[in-house]
Amino acid sequence: MVTRRPRKNERSLLEQLDALTQERNKWAHGSPPRTEVDAAQRLARLLPVLESALTQATFLAEVPWFVTRSSSYLVREQRFDVSVAAAMGDHPEFERRRLSFQEPLADGRFYMLVNGDTPVDLTPFVVLQHCDVCNFHELFYADRLPGGSSTVLKSFGNGHVKTDKTLDEDILLLGNSSAADSPSQT
């Protein structure tokens, strides 16, 4: 995986995404541009930020994503044989594959493979679920997090929206590392 580091006077990818999010929030929460000149100035200021963020994020196109189907431990080889559905393309089709890992992976969770061999669990932020709108399995991301209601998911491909309260606990545990580390949470 090739990642481009920010140049000397360039902000990091996270800083750039934060700047874009702040501008989006201004527009959405009562501070949109008042004139065409104001809009043009804001756009001129943000366009280089967006272009740099996209350039720095290009490595994500090369990072494999997959959802685990099943896993079995191979005693003699001391590794886990994992059946996965690998995401292919920008509106992903899924190809069945088998991968091998030293550590177990949970079934039905979405992972990305970084540095060639390190799985990073993307669940509950990214999930593969049935969509009631189009009646297909869709890749969803957590659009809004629990705040008295269920997690709101939005599909990457079509923007279809659904709720899933089963993800609430996973998301809430992310902010409480002591609860997430306890043995009863596995």
pLDDT at 6: 60
* CA separation, residue 101 to residues 14, 74, 84, 116 (Å): 30, 10, 12, 11
Give the end-to-end CA distance of the chain in Å, rounded to a whole number: 30
| Residue 184: count of CB within 10 angstroms of its CB | 5
List, for residues 117-159, the tens digit of each pLDDT value: 899 999 999 999 999 999 988 899 998 876 767 899 999 888 9
pTM over 0.75? The answer is no
Q: Which residue has the higher pLDDT, 92 or 41?
A: 41
**Closest C-alpha among 60, 58, 57 to residue 15:** 57
pLDDT value at residue 183? 45
- Average pLDDT value for residue range 8-25: 88
Using the CB atoms, write b or e for 130-168: b if 16+ within 10 Å. Answer: ebeeeeeebbbebeebbeeeebbbebeeeebebeeeebb
pLDDT, tens digit, 9 for 90 and up, residues 151-182:
999 998 889 999 998 898 888 888 765 544 44
The ranges assigned to domains in the chain are 13-61, 63-121, 126-185
Six-digit token string for 112: 């990305």
pLDDT value of position 146: 61
The yes-or-no verdict on residue 76 having pLDDT over 60 is: yes
Bridge partners, residue 129, by sequence: 138
Whole-angstrom distance, CA of residue 86 vs CA of residue 104: 17
